[in-house]
Amino acid sequence: MKILLKASYLGTHFCGYQVQRDKRTVQGELNRAAKELFGYDCDVTGCSRTDSGVHANMFCLTVTKKGESFLETDIDVARLPRAITAHLPEDVSVYCAEWVNENFHPRYDVKYKEYVYRIYNGAVRDPFLDGRVWHVPQRISEANLENMRLAASKYVGKKDFSAFMAQGSSVESTVREIFYSDVKRDGDVITFRVAADGFLYNMVRIMTGTLVSVAQGKISPCDIEDIISSKSRERAGMTAPPEGLYLNRVEY
């Protein structure tokens, strides 16, 4: 058996999830914490690879003994979240733990992932949200918000999202299925929520940048389907900054 952990982290001061030499990463901190807790080197395998500055409300990962498909520990699973979090820095914590079969994979067994992107639409920046939202100071009217919603709805379906992938990326297939996609406003915060069976590199950030272009009148909601069909990155909007992006939910 192996342990499945659910973690959350603030990505501001991390160089992404994946281990990188001489750089602070989420995986690096989890590797260190697991070794300190269990007393031996571990393999920590995550459900995704978030970029520098990207956050996670729910990030799933498995922990096994290094080079093995199992974990040896006498620690009760109910105590594991508090036990391992005690070895972690303040910007990452583990809030759930459970045993899973040795053949379970936190990335390949995912049914869908949900991301949220938060836009702060206040006139001046909010220091309490700094690093956790994309500040777009130009007021987005209710009519333009409705255009964003209409544009977001056109993402839904199984489609080739080449136009919403960072240039230079190399993948076997650029087809992804979007299960739902919506935009809501709560005060000055606009949230874009999207779920899919998988995402291309920078896909959610490009989708968000495109929605902001729609709100600013640079792209029409009716253009979204043509942009998707074109498979051209140049047709879509800008890549939104990383600080507003959160991996929000992982479903197995």
d(CA 191, CA 245): 10
Residue 151: closest CA among 115, 194, 200? 194
d(CA 252, CA 247): 15
Measured from the Cβ of residue 20, the count of other Cβ atoms closer than 10 Å reads 14
Pairing status of strand 2-9 against strand 92-100? antiparallel
d(CA 251, CA 114): 8
- Give catalytic status of residue 226 as yes or no: no
Catalytic residue among 51, 91, 160, 182: 51
**Positions marked catalytic:** 51
